Amino acid sequence: MWKQPIVWSSSHAPLYACRFFMGSGNERGAIAISLKSTEMTQGLVAANNVEERCTLQVSVLQIVPWYVKVYYHTLQLLVDERPQVLTDFVERMRVSPSEDKVSPGMMELVLQFPCEMKSAVLSLEFDKGFLHIDEYPPDANQGFDIPSAIISFPDFHAGLLFSEKSSKSPLLSKLQEKSPVLSYTEVLLVPLTTPDFSMPYNVITITCTVFALYFGSLLNVLRRRVGEEER
């Protein structure tokens, strides 16, 4: 059954998605998701009727760890490098704030863009949280991962195609169901404020040295004889 020929049918994503950090320092910053048009988007504009308005639906799912304190009210949208009102493009929005050391934060957006759009940028500001010293991994200075954002295009689908003989199988028919085209952004590394992990060693070393000098001098005075002092 698995030797049957398989054809993967998938259209290219109409928008190229990437994600990056903005700002500097160990206190705050911003996450930006950039969407840029591709040749497929230009083809939609050319094929669409001039009298009808061509729109492109885009869904954005962003999950951030709890130690990244996202301020969802700072969400901004730039379309073709111009600030826009969110209500003009956001069709639906769902936000689940993070809970410290319990659950990450989640934001899901459903947007409607015009097909003639060249670029769009979504940005969110955040503050960097503080971790307990026991919560840092061995390579804390490398940074902490923020999972990829998932960009889906409900109007474009992908799926598997099997031969007519194998399509009678319930399992293969399930695999043939079409799903939206997905695009994944880069995984980001956010640097957090890290403590000096060598400080406990320095404190122990200095403390032991002070105690050794103190008790060594004390024992030397207590055990010294009177005859030795006259000499």
Residue of 166, 164, 147, 183 lying closest to 58 (CA atoms): 183
Q: What is the pLDDT of residues 22-68, one digit of tens each?
A: 887 778 889 999 999 887 665 555 555 455 678 889 999 999 999 89
Block residue for tokens 């840029």: 36
56 is a domain residue? yes
- Higher per-residue pLDDT: 195 or 83: 83
Q: What is the domain range of residue 226?
A: 198-231
41 is a domain residue? yes
The sign of the CA dihedral 139, 19, 31, 124 is negative
2 is a domain residue? no
Which one-letter DSSP state was computed for residue 165? T
Looking at residue 4, what is its pLDDT?
54
Please check whether residues 84 and 170 belong to one and the same domain: yes
Work out whether strand 55-64 and strand 150-161 pair parallel, antiparallel, or are unpaired.
antiparallel
* 165 and 4 Cβ atoms separated by less than 8 Å: yes
**pLDDT above 90: residue 143:** no
Question: Of 46-60, 120-134, 193-207, 210-224, where does mean pLDDT reach its minimum?
Answer: 46-60
**What pTM did the predictor assign?**
0.72
The string of DSSP letters for 72-124 reads EEEEEEEETTEEE-GGGTEEEEEEE--BTTTB-EEEEEEEEEETT--EEEEEE
Q: What is the pLDDT of residues 114-139, one digit of tens each?
A: 888 889 999 999 998 888 888 888 88
**pLDDT above 50: residue 1:** no
For range 17-23, the mean pLDDT: 89
The count of structural domains within the chain is 2
Please check whether residues 152 and 207 belong to one and the same domain: no
Please check whether residues 205 and 186 belong to one and the same domain: no
